[in-house]
């Protein structure tokens, strides 16, 4: 449907999404992949908008679960005692537990302060919120949280005492933590450096223990860190826990949420989640995902806010995927620079640039507290070179350009061969050359970006590349005007085309992937060869050589990312 009016296409697309969301709200199962096969011309946009719609639905219906005193719950949720949720009556007793008060509730569970009669102790009792109306996925996730936390025994993880069921409603009891949460502590602003390092050291050791037992947390955030009256932190809420099998490097869901994963749903809290988690089903979630979130916690303790925050969850996710966080000392001039380095190392978007494990992070925090050098400040020469030539977090957009770059390679080659043919035919008028390099190249640029828009929304990084490309086109066409002003023969300045193209690839290397330094060097060398071939008695084939080299510079990465996109099934 290439001839379809864009506005009609958008209307059809959003009408489809709206209908699918309504089906989801009515409790019907939506198979987004089957829908994409039916509407193949809208498949890419459907997947992207469905992921966004599900993210908005998720954050529109849930809040946070806490296991602290009523006063703390009210402060965290922004509720007074009069406005505390009362949608269901307070049960008097659940098994061996006598309910004392409601602490709070979220989208899936409700937490009570309770007294365990047989042992005479106060506990936190969590029950599934919807009871008999809870979906199988909600029940599985709730059961997963209880089972996951019950397998962990660590002084800084809230221990689970018992898992049971009352009138068809699963529940589990935990240690009741008298105190506050890290989220509430951060309301007053950043923490002192040593206090922040001490808190995170305990949390990192707790998460390292979870990883050693094959469990990922996947939802580390300030509201899931409880702090007792003695200042000791406790990790809680394993509702998004995921099994991790280190031996075969595979990931196994702890709860039966395959349908959510297949639809590309994003699970977690945007401001504190790693890019690979924000990428939905395409992300490779691993223990390093929790390492990122630990860094986000430290960032919050240094600055008083999450690394990324925007007007909506969707905007925050886009920031996580595309942008780098502000340096902590920009937000808080008093932020400790060593802790800043530790936080930023955790927050690297490429996973292999983070700490190799939560244990390694804990070791660096211990070194900081002992006034010893931290590893976050050390870099070997080979690491520097490796980082220079690696892909950035923007490199994923190249999958949108694979086929387009292969087409662009063909257009460039034809353009240069035609230019060289005019030169061979001894055409001295500037008009044919100027027409090829302005009207011809400009028309192709319009077609290029129109085709790109059909593949989905254009990202911030792509807009930057578009501006650089437009600038290079203006410079290329401007060479003919400069030649005319200087009264030089046509194509006298053609070697400059190699320099212009090389600079464009240098910019792409910085924004997208360091691999483009190779293309930049090749084009710099091509400019020199073109200059040599301008000498009297040399064959005038410089433009053709430039066309061949330029075409290869676009075709090779284009083919790579086209295949990568095809393998991903996009």
Q: Per the structure block, which two tokens stand in for 380?
A: 């070997």
> How many separate helices (H) and strands (E) can be counted in the chain?
22, 12
Q: What is the largest CA-CA distance in the chain?
A: 102
CB 259 within 8 A of CB 29: yes
Catalytic status, residue 219: yes
Report the distance separating Cα 274 and Cα 347, nearest Å: 8
Report the distance separating Cα 90 and Cα 514, nearest Å: 60
Bridge partners of residue 171, in order along the sequence: 127, 164
β strands within 236-377, DSSP E: 242-245, 250-253
Q: Per the structure block, which two tokens stand in for 382?
A: 């080979």
CB 254 within 8 A of CB 148: yes
CB 285 within 8 A of CB 218: yes
Q: Per the structure block, which two tokens stand in for 133?
A: 């109306």
Bridge partners of residue 235, in order along the sequence: 157, 225
Report the distance separating Cα 320 and Cα 116, nearest Å: 43
Comparing CA positions, the residue from 122, 118, 107, 145 lying closest to residue 70 is: 122
Comparing CA positions, the residue from 558, 555, 529 lying closest to residue 543 is: 529
- The radius of gyration of the chain's CA atoms, rounded to the nearest angstrom, is 29
Q: Per the structure block, which two tokens stand in for 531?
A: 């200059």
> What is the CB-side half-sphere exposure of residue 443 using CA atoms within 13 A?
7
> What is the CB-side half-sphere exposure of residue 431 using CA atoms within 13 A?
1
> What is the CB-side half-sphere exposure of residue 285 using CA atoms within 13 A?
29
Comparing CA positions, the residue from 330, 324, 360, 374 lying closest to residue 344 is: 324
Task: Name the region of 431 (left: φ>0; alpha: ψ -120 to 50; beta: rest).
Answer: alpha
Comparing CA positions, the residue from 343, 296, 340, 286 lying closest to residue 319 is: 296
Q: Which of 45, 65, 219, 338 is catalytic?
A: 219
* CA 179 to mean position of chain CA atoms: 33
| Residue 96 dihedral angles phi and psi, to the nearest 5° | -85, 5
| Residue 399 dihedral angles phi and psi, to the nearest 5° | -65, -25
Give the single-character DSSP code of 391. Answer: B
Q: How far is CA 454 from CA 15, 41, 352, 387, in A?
A: 18, 10, 33, 33
Report the distance separating Cα 500 and Cα 469, nearest Å: 10
Q: Which helix (H) or strand (E) holds 364?
A: helix 358-369
3-state secondary structure of 225: strand
Unique residue bearing structure tokens 């640039």: 353
Report the distance separating Cα 388 and Cα 28, nearest Å: 49
Catalytic positions:
219
């Amino acid at each position: 449907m290439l001839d379809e009016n864009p506005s009609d296409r958008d209307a059809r697309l959003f009408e489809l999404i709206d209908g699918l969301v309504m089906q989801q709200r009515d409790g019907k199962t939506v198979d987004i992949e089957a829908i994409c096969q039916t509407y193949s011309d809208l498949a890419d946009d459907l997947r992207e908008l469905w992921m966004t719609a599900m993210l908005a639905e998720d954050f529109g219906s849930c809040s946070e679960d806490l296991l602290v005193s009523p006063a703390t719950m009210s402060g965290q949720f922004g509720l007074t005692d009069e406005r505390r949720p009362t949608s269901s009556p307070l049960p008097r007793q659940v098994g061996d537990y006598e309910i004392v008060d409601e602490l709070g509730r979220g989208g899936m569970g409700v937490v009570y302060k309770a007294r365990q009669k047989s042992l005479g102790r106060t506990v936190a009792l969590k029950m599934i919120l919807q009871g008999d109306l809870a979906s199988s996925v909600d029940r599985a996730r709730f059961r997963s949280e209880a089972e996951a936390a019950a397998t962990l025994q660590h002084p800084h993880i809230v221990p689970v005492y018992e898992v049971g069921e009352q009138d068809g409603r699963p529940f589990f009891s935990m240690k009741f933590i008298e105190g506050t949460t890290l989220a509430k502590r951060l309301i007053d602003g950043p923490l002192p450096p040593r206090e922040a390092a001490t808190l995170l050291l305990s949390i990192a050791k707790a998460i390292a223990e979870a990883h050693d037992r094959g469990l990922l947390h996947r939802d580390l955030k300030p509201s899931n860190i409880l702090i007792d009256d003695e200042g000791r932190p406790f990790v809680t809420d394993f509702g998004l826990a995921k099994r991790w099998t280190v031996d075969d490097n595979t990931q196994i869901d702890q709860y039966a949420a395959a349908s959510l994963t297949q639809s590309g749903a994003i699970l977690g809290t945007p401001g504190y989640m790693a890019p690979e988690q924000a990428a939905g089903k395409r992300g490779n979630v691993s223990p390093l995902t929790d390492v990122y979130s630990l860094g986000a916690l430290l960032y919050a303790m240094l600055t008083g806010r999450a690394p990324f925050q925007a007007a909506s969850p969707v905007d925050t996710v886009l920031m996580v995927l595309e942008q780098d966080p502000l340096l902590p000392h920009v937000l808080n001039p008093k932020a400790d620079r060593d802790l800043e380095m530790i936080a930023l190392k955790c927050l690297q978007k490429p996973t292999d640039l983070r700490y190799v494990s939560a244990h390694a992070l804990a070791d660096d925090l211990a070194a900081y507290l002992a006034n010893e050098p931290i590893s976050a400040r050390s870099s070997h020469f080979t690491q520097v070179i490796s980082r220079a030539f690696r892909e950035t977090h923007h490199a994923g957009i190249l999958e949108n350009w694979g086929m387009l770059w292969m087409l662009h390679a063909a257009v460039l080659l034809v353009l240069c061969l035609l230019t060289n043919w005019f030169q061979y035919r001894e055409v001295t008028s500037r008009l044919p050359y100027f027409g090829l390099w302005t009207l011809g190249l400009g028309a192709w640029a319009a077609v290029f970006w129109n085709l790109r828009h059909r593949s989905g929304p254009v990202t911030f990084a792509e807009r930057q590349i578009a501006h650089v490309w437009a600038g290079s086109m203006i410079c290329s066409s401007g060479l003919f005007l400069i030649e005319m002003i200087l009264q030089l023969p046509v194509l006298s300045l053609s070697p400059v085309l190699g320099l212009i193209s090389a600079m464009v690839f240098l910019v792409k290397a910085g924004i997208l992937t360091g691999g483009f330094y190779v293309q930049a060097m090749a084009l710099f060398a091509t400019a020199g060869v073109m200059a040599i071939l301008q000498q009297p008695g040399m064959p005038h084939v410089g433009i053709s050589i430039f066309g061949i080299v330029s075409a290869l510079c676009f075709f090779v990465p284009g083919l790579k990312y086209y295949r990568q996109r095809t393998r991903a099934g996009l």
